Structure formats: C-alpha cells, structure tokens
Amino acid sequence: MHSRFYNEALFEVRLRPRTPLLIKAGGEGAAAMDPTVPDMSFVRLRRPDGDETVYVPGSSLRGVLRGHAERLVRSVRLQEACDPLAHGEGETGYGLKRACRFKDDVPGDAAYRRACYACRLFGATGLASRLRVGDLYPEGPVLRDTRYGVAIDRVTGAVAHGPFELEIVTEASFAGALVLRNFTLGQFGLLAAALLDVADGLVPLGYGKSRGLGRVDLEVTRLTVRTLQDPQAALVGVGALCDERTRQAFSLPAAERERLDVGAAAERERGFFVLEAAGPEARRWLEAAAPRWVEEIS
C-alpha cells in the first residue's frame, strides 16, 4: 500500500511557547569547551547563510505526538498501543502488548495487520510510518533567556547538583509541516486529537515539563488534503480509495466508514483533487475527525 498513492494530508503548523521552552541540544560538548555556552543549550542548526538558529526538530514534536496518541489509545484499548521498550514474548507487567517488531521477510500487509494501532500510524521496526514530521524553523525574532536550575537532594534537602544554566526561548514563532499519507479516517482522527491537545497547551514539549516549562500553542494554519479520486466534499480514508484486495490484505475499514463530510468543494490541481482549509476552518475539520479513531479501534 505504501508504494501507491491514495490520499495525503499536509498540516502546516505554527508553534509558540506559552511558558519558556527548552529543546535540549544533545551532549555537553559545546558547554564543556566554551564557558559562554549554557550547560543546557537549545538545539541549533547552521543555516545556508552561515548563521546559527534555534529550531524545533521534527523528531521532538513527533515524539510528543506519538506519546500522547499512545496514551489516548491505551485509555480505550490497552492492547492497541504497544510498549516500545518491552521486547520478547507475552504481555508486560502492566498488561501492555510488547513492542511491535517485524523481520525484513514479513510482507508489508502482514506486518500492518499484526501491528498495534499506534504502530500502524507511527511505524515500528519493519513497518513504515504513515506520518512525516518536518523540522520547525523560527519566523521572525526569537527571544532567549537564561534560567538557573538546581537539583535538590530529597534526603538532606541540600543542593545535590548545580546551579546549572538553562537556555530557554520565551518568545518565538516556529513554523513547519506534517505529512500523513495513505491514512484511514481513524488515523487522521488520532493525529488530529493529539494535535488539538498540543494546541490547547495540554501536552508540554521539551525539557523541564515538571518545572512548568514547555507549554506551547500550536495552530494548524493550513490543512491540505489530496486524493486521486473525487472526494465529493468529504475527507476520505484509504479504505474507500483502494481496491477490495488491498482492503482485505491490510484489514482496512469498510468504504462506508471512511467518509467525513466537511462541505468543501475540491479544486483540481495537477490531476489531484485538493481540499483546503485554513485557521479556524482547519481546526473545525480536526475536531470533526478526532472521534473517528475511537470508532475504528472499538
């Protein structure tokens, strides 16, 4: 199924810190070498013009979305989101399914059928992900500040470690995009539910969550959904776009359960049908799709 195109959703997002944000750069190399660099500095990359810029790696946002989506799924069906750290056979102590892992010789359809609901969306060893999350880059100025932290020894009450410096971003607007391909409506809905919870500041990002850091605002500035068949004013899942054999092989939902009417007319673009929504309208589509994952796993 991955080798063919059925549908694709592009979520253009803008992320702003509500409380100070720190996405830590890996290692302590720079701080150890250069005393002017904070102990915990924000992750940076060098731009083509030679300047360095802080940014939010797509892997950070993806990790937060996956973790939250897994919690949502487990609250409805424990077995549908595996424990990625538990290898081997049988259930874990908490009744979770052990990590989905597939050898190279397992065909794609068999791996997909055997994977838990979370891995079908986010991927696992031997199973491709349907979701790609790009890096988010700052638009306009970035306000940074330094905080000082200490770790307290719980027994003696004395400073166990520190003070150490934290480089935080207090004001910025980071823009980026997520692409979801060949999705069922339930998968679109689960991603929508996770995005909406991040958007509402319920899911923090980065370092220091227990200190209140990392609450963010996330806005889906534009949502673009492309299909090869006319969606007729609806969001359409892959179960309604593929042939019967593929539907059986991947045990996808029946066609009649793969439509969500959004009342928008599709534009034609390079052979594709394109549905587009911006700002509040995009949010309305996400809200409407969000409950679909519950129906799909029940």
What is the nearest approach in angstroms of Zn ion to the Cβ of residue 116?
A: 3
Size of the site for Zn ion (CB under 5 A): 4
Q: How many CB atoms lie within 10 A of CB 95?
A: 10
Which CB sits closer to Zn ion, 116 or 277? Answer: 116
The distance from CA 84 to its chain's CA centroid, rounded to whole angstroms, is: 16
Q: Are 216 and 173 in contact (CB under 8 A)?
A: no
Q: Would you count residue 218 as binding Zn ion (CB under 5 A)?
A: no
Q: Are 105 and 90 in contact (CB under 8 A)?
A: no
What is the nearest approach in angstroms of Zn ion to the Cβ of residue 202?
A: 24
Q: Are 282 and 223 in contact (CB under 8 A)?
A: yes
Site for Zn ion in 61-90 (CB under 5 A): 82
Q: Are 273 and 175 in contact (CB under 8 A)?
A: no
The bridge status of strand 7-17 relative to strand 174-181 is antiparallel
Owner of token pair 């007729």: 232
| Residue 149 DSSP SS3 | strand
Listed ranges 35-43, 110-118, 159-167, 242-250: which one lies at the site for Zn ion (CB under 5 A): 110-118
What is the nearest approach in angstroms of Zn ion to the Cβ of residue 75?
A: 16
Which CB sits closer to Zn ion, 87 or 154? Answer: 87
When binding is defined by CB under 5 A, the residue of 1, 116, 203, 282 that contacts Zn ion is 116
Which CB sits closer to Zn ion, 115 or 236? Answer: 115
What is the nearest approach in angstroms of Zn ion to the Cβ of residue 59?
A: 18
Which CB sits closer to Zn ion, 114 or 209? Answer: 114
Which CB sits closer to Zn ion, 18 or 77? Answer: 77
What is the nearest approach in angstroms of Zn ion to the Cβ of residue 122?
A: 8
Residue 142 has, within 13 A of its CA and on its CB side, a CA count of 21
Q: How many CB atoms lie within 10 A of CB 1?
A: 19
When binding is defined by CB under 5 A, the residue of 13, 56, 96, 100 that contacts Zn ion is 100
**In the complex, which residues of this chain contact Zn ion (CB under 5 A)?**
82, 100, 116, 119
